[in-house]
A = this chain, B = another copy of it.
Amino acid sequence: MPSPDRKISESTVRRLSAYLRSLEALEASGAEMASSGELARRAGTTAPQVRKDLSTFGSFGKRGLGYPVVPLIGSLEAILGLTREWRVALLGAGRVGAALHTYPFFRERGFRIVAIFDNDPEKVGLRWDDTTIRHIDELESVLAGEAVEIAILTVPAAPAPALADRVVRAGVGAILNFAPARLELPPHVVVNEVNLAMELELLSFALTRSEPR
């Protein structure tokens, strides 16, 4: 792998993730080799882009034969940091939190939810599988005790920035933010937003412009 100071764009990582998904589908269908064209078609990009993206990280293909499916899955898992377990905290035990908690991908990929927080007294103390929902007042002690590395925020917009600050001060290095609030955090913290409002507005914008006027 290149040195960590070599900048890889977010869109490159998104494509690597799509290649991994495509390779897994190919593996499930029994394929042993995948061409760059096939990966490109499944990931919605071009064959030269596939070859360029993968060559950034090593020599995985065989000229004229394509990429061996199983080894490339292993390489992409290593590149994407999926060969180890990540300790995850869920802040917010509402419906979005519940949906994420049962999302099978988490476990399959090694994202293990080790702590769940809420401020609703009716939720605190409940167990989701083998994790007890803790009060948000216990955030710092639980995050440290459980060695949490990634926090997922599924809280309302108003409390989100202050909770993100607390999470970062407690040593968490990455946040997946579902709250419709912008977080201003130190540059070493990795923040990724999932904004459902924005996703829907992209659709309504496109539909509005495509209609006859």
Interface residues of A (CB under 8 A from B): 4, 8, 10, 13-14, 16-18, 20-22, 42-44, 79-82, 86, 94-96, 98-100, 102-103, 105-106, 109, 111, 149-150, 173-176, 180, 182, 188, 190, 192, 194-210, 213
Contact = CB atoms under 8 A, between A and B. Distances in A.
A11 to B, nearest CB: 10
A95 B99 contact: yes
Given A17-B198, A98-B99, 6 more contacts: A42-B182, A79-B205, A95-B98, A105-B200, A173-B207, A194-B196
Interface of A is mostly: helix
Contact of A204 (B8, B14, B80): B80
Nearest to A79: B205
23 contacts: A4-B213, A8-B205, A17-B195, A17-B201, A18-B182, A18-B198, A43-B182, A79-B205, A79-B208, A80-B205, A86-B204, A95-B102, A99-B99, A105-B180, A105-B197, A105-B200, A109-B204, A111-B200, A174-B206, A176-B203, A190-B202, A192-B199, A194-B194
